[in-house]
Amino acid sequence: MKYNPALWFELFFILILFFIILINLSDFPFDSFSLFTLFWTFPLVLIIHYILSFKTIHSLEKKFTTIQFLKWLKVLTVFYLPYLIMAIIYENLVFIIDIIGNTSINYDNLFMQIDEKIFVVQPTLWMQKLLHPVAIEYFMLAYGMFFIYPFFYLIYLLQKNKIEYFQKVMLAEILALIISLSFFIILPTYGPRFILDPTSTNFIQQSLRYSESLQGISIPFLYNLTGYNSLYSIQVELWNFLERVKTDCFPSLHTCLCLLCLFYAIRFRKIFKHKKLALWFWIVGVISLIFSTVYLRYHWVIDVIAGIVLAVAVYFITEWIFNLWLGFRKKYNIEFKNKFQINTQFK
């Protein structure tokens, strides 16, 4: 745990979840426990790192033996361990939510009313005026960038051998995840796509319903090939498949994690080769992603506001915790001994 203080917070969170499981032992579905997210996340990390390091590995030739590869694998595992642990927790969080049984309480109605009081109208219904197939495709792509910003930014920092930056961003992301997942347990919320959709079994019996459906750009040959008539519909189905927790709206994790990464991308902008281009990519992309959460009916606006507040709070909390941790490392003369770059390790 000397490599990242995030592990201490994860341990505390796991102990709380373990206690909940323990007092509800007979109700916990151990036979449904899944590691699917871990099984695709970790190999993806390895593949990306191997591709990005291919030239270095190839140049080392005989020096990069099986033993050296296993050492490299160990280093990667140590660095990404906090993220991998959270992948397991998130995937199986649905069982904790079911055990506590808060899904019977109508929090969506509360958040919907808050939105209406703030904006007078219901924002997600008002946005039907702005629907257009091109915009829907764009914002669905922006929404899917959720995997790029928090996940691939960590990979980028590690590839650049910016170990301290990596550790700080990892800590911030883990803190945001722990706090968000805690809210998902306490205040499970389905979001407008379930609540206001006239074709679904709605949890709120009222007159407010969507009158316009989300339709991307129709591509006939795509339908003949896949059975889906647009790229938008393919992405939606992929998200539905990957998202096991359906009550993860408050706060918006998309907003919180990506905004946090934007803060650090701006702060650590000197490491980008093309700084202006990189910053435009981050700013435009993250703003588009945040807007897409409401436009595509995944979140109430209050979810987004909560995500923004949480991102700002976690940013400053991370600074405080990380400085304490650096002071601890300096006091006990603990250095960042793990260097990721292959040529640093094995030449």
What are 248-257's pLDDT values in tens digits?
999 999 999 9
3-state secondary structure of 221: helix
Instruction: Quote the CA–CA distance of 73 and 66 in Å, as a whole number.
Output: 10
Candidates 215, 187, 50; CA nearest to 131 is 215
Given a cut of 90, whether residue 336 has pLDDT beyond it is no
Whether 242 is covered by a domain: the verdict is yes
How many Å apart are CA 257 and CA 279, to the nearest integer? 17
Weakest-pLDDT range from 129-138, 147-156, 198-207: 198-207
Instruction: Judge whether residue 216 has pLDDT over 80.
Output: yes
Q: Are 246 and 302 in contact (CB under 8 A)?
A: no
Banded model confidence at residue 64, pLDDT cuts 50, 70, 90: low
Residue at 4 is within a domain = no
Q: Is residue 297 part of a domain?
A: yes
Domain that holds residue 211: 106-346
Q: How confident is the model at residue 179 (pLDDT cuts 50, 70, 90)?
A: very high
d(CA 290, CA 263) in angstroms, rounded, equals: 14
Mean pLDDT of 195-201: 76
CB 239 within 8 A of CB 291: no
- 9 confidence band (pLDDT: 50, 70, 90): very high
| Structure confidence by residue, pLDDT tens digits, 133-147 | 999 999 999 999 998
Q: Is residue 209 part of a domain?
A: yes
Distances (CA, A) of 63 to 46, 59, 287, 343: 19, 9, 45, 10
Q: Which of 197, 187, 151 is nearest to 170 (CA)?
A: 151
Give a yes or no: residue 2 inside a domain. no
Among 164-168, 243-247, 320-324, 327-331, where is mean pLDDT lowest? 327-331
Task: Assess if residue 86 is contained within a domain.
Answer: no
Report the pLDDT value the prediction gives residue 345, as an integer from 0 to 100: 46
Least confident of 23-27, 201-205, 213-217: 201-205
The Cβ of residue 320 has, within 10 Å, a number of other Cβ atoms equal to 9
Q: What's the CA angle centered on 314, arms 308 and 36, to 5 degrees?
A: 85
Residue with tokens 């991370």: 318
CA–CA separation, 257 and 118 (whole Å): 24
Q: H-type helices in the chain, by residue range?
A: 6-23, 36-52, 54-60, 66-100, 107-119, 123-126, 133-144, 153-159, 163-186, 192-195, 220-226, 231-242, 253-267, 275-295, 301-331, 342-346
Is residue 328 one of the residues assigned to a domain? yes
- 200 within some domain: yes
d(CA 182, CA 16): 10
The whole-chain average pLDDT of the chain stands at 88
Overall number of domains in the chain: 1
